[in-house]
Structure formats: C-alpha cells, structure tokens
Amino acid sequence: MSRVHDMGGRFGDGAIDPNPGEPVFKEDWHGRALAVTLACGALGQWNIDVSRHARECLSPKDYARFSYYEKWLAGLADLLEATGVVTREELAGGPVASSDLTDRKMLAEKVAGVLAAGGPANRDGRAPRFAIGDRVRTRVRSANAFVAGGHTRLPSYATGVTGEVVLRHGAHVLPDAAAHGLGERPEPLYTVVFDAGDLWGAPERAGDEVTCDLWESYLEAAS
Amino acid sequence: MGLQYAGKLAHLFAMPHDFDDPDHAHSVLPPDPALRVKALETLLERKGLIDPAALDEIIDTYAHRVGPQNGAAVVARAWDEPEFAEALKQDATAAVRDMGFYGRQGEHIVAVFNTPGQHNMVVCTLCSCYPWPLLGIPPSWFKSDAYRSRAVREPRKVLAEFGVKLADDTKVRVWDSTAEIRYLVIPERPEGTEGWSQEQLAKAVTRDSMVGTDVLGAQS
C-alpha cells in the first residue's frame, strides 16, 4: 500500500549535514537536470501531480540510491515515454523521429514569464464543511480512493489521527484525481494541526505539534 | 493547467509501460548522471522540444537572481513595518507579490511567525516542496531522507544538529508542506538591531532561519 517516498517519522536515516556554504547547484548537471525538467513541463503533457507520482513510482531500490536530481531525471524519462513524447528506442540512442509538439518549445525569452506565472492550484469550488477550530480525524489509510497504489498526499504517519483545523485555503485541485487523468475535482483544503503525542505515542516533548495540509475528502468530523 | 489534460492523461492507465513497470524507461539511459542529462538534453533538442538557451536562462535565474535574499527582504520589512507584518499574517501571497515575489512553487504563501512561545519549522516529508520565489532552490539537507523522515518526529534533535537549542517552554510546530501551500518562517528579530535599515536587517537573516532550522542570535 505504501510507497517509498512517504518517509515522515521513519527511523534509521542518520544525522543531517547542514553543509553551510553549499552552492545552489553542487554539480553542473544538477542545474541542467532542473532546467530540462522545467522545460519539458512547459510542453504541457502533464501536471505537477503526474510528475510527483512518476518520481514516487521509482522502485524503492532506485528511489533510495538516486540523488534528488537523479530522481527527477528518472521520473522525467519515464514520463516522456509514458506520454509518447519520446520512445524507449530514442532514449536508448536509436534514430530520432520528428515531434508534433515543437510549437510548444519554451524559448529563452519566454523563460522569465513562465517561471513568474507559476501554476496556482486554487479553483472555484464548494464551500468548506469544516471551520477553524473544528476537530477532524484523518483517513485510517493513506490510499488513493480512485486508483490502487495511486498518488495521495496524506502522509502515513498522520493517518487515523484527530487534529484541529487551523487554516482554510479555499478549494484546491485534488492531487489524487489530477495525478491520474481524472480531472481536477477541486476540494476545500485545510491545514490541520496534530499533537505530537497523538502522532508518535511518546513524543520528543509533550505539547509539540505537526501540521499537514489536507483535502476535505481525507477528513471526517471528530469530537 | 486544467481539465484539458484529463483526456490526455487518461491514456496513462493503458500505456504498455506504466510507471510501475519494473523495467522503467529511465533504465535505458547512461548510468552516469551527468551523461544521463546530456543524453536527454541532446535527444530533446534534436526533436525540437527544448532550447538550450532557455535551459541556461532557467539555471541563471535560480543560481543568481531568485534566492534567499528575496525572503530576507520580506522578513526585514516585516520587522520594520508593523502594518506589513499584519498584511503578511492576513494574506502573505498578496503581500509578497506586491514586493515582486511570485511564481513557480510560490503560488500560495503562508508566513508563520516565531514567538517566544512557539518556534516554527518547515519540512516536506513526501517530496521537497519549498517556496522557490522567496528562498530559491532548496539546499541538499532539506531534500535529504534524514531531514524528511526526522523533522516531524524529533524536531529538537534535528535542530540540535543545526546548533539550535530552544528553551524548554518554547513549543515546536512543524509544518509539513503536503499541498501547494508554501511556508515562510518569520524569525524573531535579533537583539542589537534597533534602528537598523531594512537593508541592514535583511543581511542578518539567514536562509535556514526562514525554514526554521536556525535562530538569529544577538547582532553586534
């Protein structure tokens, strides 16, 4: 049921290296990988939820051994093939066929505008069912309700837990649907705060808190 | 973005090589990552789908123009102008947009203010969501498995690895960015900065303090 990317709360990852002074792109190819990925996104063949799901679908072995930008590259190659933008034979170095998407190529002079425009996720949608201060309980499983093994944004550590609504963000595109070609199905989005003791049993310090941003269908009313 | 993709994406279910295929398409690329990028870039350029000059422009944007200096300007202004701090609390997206900070991975901003009673810290356990227009591209530690897995469960041990020790009566609230909301931590204004200009104040703001893994000490 779970996928390898859903690692919140996991044990065994060791210490963090804050590495002050690290350059933005440690290797030249890091910047290149980022840029190729953004440029391909501009071809309009997928949305951000599809691209996140492609990275999450890397095998656990690849996900663990790949660095951040290697995950991006692998997800990108898989997406390019799945959407028919390139073929596996082309990826493997075979003959290159022409594309019918060339008019969508992002030109240098368009870059600033595309990056500045962004891609907002808020939409017109139904009124929220919950109010600030309401107690809500999360789904007991972190699972996509439409597709087995599909994309979802409820972390496993926050399943079946009761928390309190602290922010409301209007209606946002539902990733569980948008990652799978099922439309945007916008739903009210909330920030829900959980007590660390309710999440972990024995928290590092009583009274500390964790919030998650959760769509309405992930939640039910709690008392 | 929108519904026009629905029909196009629906065919992903029926693709002969879906994402769960153990024999992923990426496996045919060269093993060395630098060569892998080069192979992809060359193929896409030959197909007429990417412009190498556009790639240079994207890299230059995030290497030199968009970075933590943007977030620092927001923090400095919030310290200096109470009415701006209030606007940030009410609608941070609009408040930072007025300063020219908007765009990819910064479409929905929430500013969270540290107080003596509450320290805020930001993570993305599911991927590496980060407020690009305000802080640029995330550092390696933010994207590391160690930070993603541990920040929600043991934030104080994580903070200790950054050299930060909080008072026992300060609560930690960790914000896990699981949607398209991007969080900016507004650190407490350090002592010794009375009368400073916003330019001076901005220089005292560290990137990590705006993610919540640094606390700004007294300035001299």
What is the pLDDT at residue B30? Answer: 86
Q: Which residue of chain A comes nearest to B167, CA vs CA?
A: A205
- Global pTM reads 0.95
Q: Please tell me the predicted confidence (pLDDT) of residue B27.
A: 87
pLDDT tens digits, one per residue of A204-223: 999 999 999 999 999 999 98
Measured between alpha carbons, how far is B194 from A7 in angstroms, rounded to an integer? 43
CB-based contact, B19 to chain A, within 8 Å: yes
Is it the case that residue A168 has pLDDT exceeding 90? yes
Decide if B3 and A181 are in contact by the 8 Å CB cutoff: no
Interchain CB contact of B31 with A (< 8 Å): no
- Which tokens is A1 given? 């049921």
Check if the interface score ipTM surpasses 0.95.
yes
Q: Does B178 touch chain A (CB under 8 A)?
A: yes
Give the pLDDT mean for A112-132: 96
Asked if the Cβ–Cβ distance from A106 to B54 is below 8 Å, we say yes
Q: Do A54 and B19 touch (CB under 8 A)?
A: yes
- Dist CA A91 CA B195 (whole Å): 59
User: Do the chains contact at B50 and A106, CB–CB below 8 Å?
Assistant: yes
What is the structure's pLDDT at B16?
Answer: 39
The end-to-end CA distance of chain A, in Å, is 29
**pLDDT tens digit string along B188-219?**
999 999 999 999 999 999 999 999 999 999 99
Say if CB B204 and CB B190 are below 8 A apart: yes
Percent of residues, chain A, with pLDDT higher than 70 = 100
Q: Which of B109, B96, B177 is nearest to B143 (CA)?
A: B177
Catalytic, out of B27, B129, B140, B209: B129
- Band (pLDDT 50/70/90 cuts) for residue A2 is confident
Q: What is the pLDDT of residue B220?
A: 80
The three-state DSSP-derived secondary structure of chain B is: CCCHHHHHHHHHHHCCCCCCCCCCHHHHCCCCHHHHHHHHHHHHHHCCCECHHHHHHHHHHHHHHCCHHHHHHHHHHHHHCHHHHHHHHHHHHHHHHCCCCCCCCCCEEEEEECECCEEEEEECCCCCCCCHHHHCCCCHHHHCHHHHHHCCCCHHHHHHHCCCCCCCCCEEEEEECCCCEEEEEECCCCCCCCCCCHHHHHHCCCCHHHCCCCCCCCCC
C-alpha separations of B42 from A41, A80, A102, A111, B36 in Å: 17, 14, 15, 19, 10
* Residues in chain B with pLDDT values less than 50: 1-8, 10-11, 13-17
Mean pLDDT of chain A: 96
